[in-house]
Amino acid sequence: MGAMLAALTFSTASATAATLSTGLTQNNGQRGVMFNIATGSNALVLESLETDFYANTTADYEIYYTIGDFTAVQNTPSAWTLLDSLSGFTGTTGLQSWDFVDLLLPANETIGLYVTNTSGGGIQYADGTAVGSTLATDGDLTIFGGVGRSYAFGLTFTPRNFVGSLDYSIAAVPLPAGLPLLLAGLGGLGLVQRRRR
């Protein structure tokens, strides 16, 4: 499984950019927030997020992911993969953007995300009604209610909702490696046939 997870993280060209927002206002906060997202029938590339970092506080942040429902592994650090980190980030009032390493999300899959900080700051979020409640959906991506966490993989505060938005694109379908050579070869055959005529 580790090899599969590692293969999901990459930078890629993609198309059809979109943003899905929870539309929520923060009223609570902790060192981190853990929640599920789910894809529809398209593979997606998760590119960045906007959230409410603690204002006037400088801290180092990390974002982790796991394939599947986070609730099954929320207390198992080895089940999570570090996607990216952000050093010396100073929060301001309101939502701020974090453009992290692109993450390929397979189609029809649930993925757990954990946005947290290593010291000094935190993530603002909203009190929730139930873990797993739907916060936002647009057909391609769904964001669900989750939990607050102390660093790292520490105390749990439940239910808590991610406040902010996720920026993604529908993943570009890569051409098979041999297809350009095949097309070039067929084009060459066409030229030879035309010359013979």
**Residue 98's beta-bridge partner residues?**
49
| 12-16, 100-104, 141-145: range with lowest mean pLDDT | 12-16
pLDDT at 184: 61
Give the integer Cα–Cα distance in Å for 131 and 179.
Answer: 45
DSSP 158-169: EEEEE-EEEEEE
Of residues 9 and 155, more confidence is placed in 155
Give the integer Cα–Cα distance in Å for 181 and 2.
Answer: 33
Running DSSP on this structure, what letter comes out for residue 186?
A: H
Euclidean distance between the first and final Cα of the chain, in Å? 56
Identify the band that residue 14 occupies on the pLDDT scale cut at 50, 70 and 90: very low
Identify the band that residue 64 occupies on the pLDDT scale cut at 50, 70 and 90: very high
Query: One-letter amino acid identity for 100?
Result: F
Farthest CA pair distance, the chain: 78
Fold for 2-196, please state it. Jelly Rolls (2.60.120)
Give the integer Cα–Cα distance in Å for 89 and 91.
Answer: 6
Domain ranges of the chain: 2-196
Distances (CA, A) of 162 to 85, 135, 145: 18, 9, 7
Give pLDDT tens digits for 116-153: 998 878 999 999 999 999 999 999 999 999 999 999 99
Give pLDDT tens digits for 156-180: 999 999 999 999 999 986 655 555 5
| 49-53, 56-60, 103-107, 179-183: range with lowest mean pLDDT | 179-183
Query: One-letter amino acid identity for 187?
Result: G
**Under DSSP, is residue 133 helix (H, G, I), strand (E, B) or coil?**
coil
Q: Quick one: which of 98, 97, 94, 113 has its CA closest to 54?
A: 94
pLDDT at residue 183 is higher than 90: no
pLDDT at residue 72 is higher than 80: yes
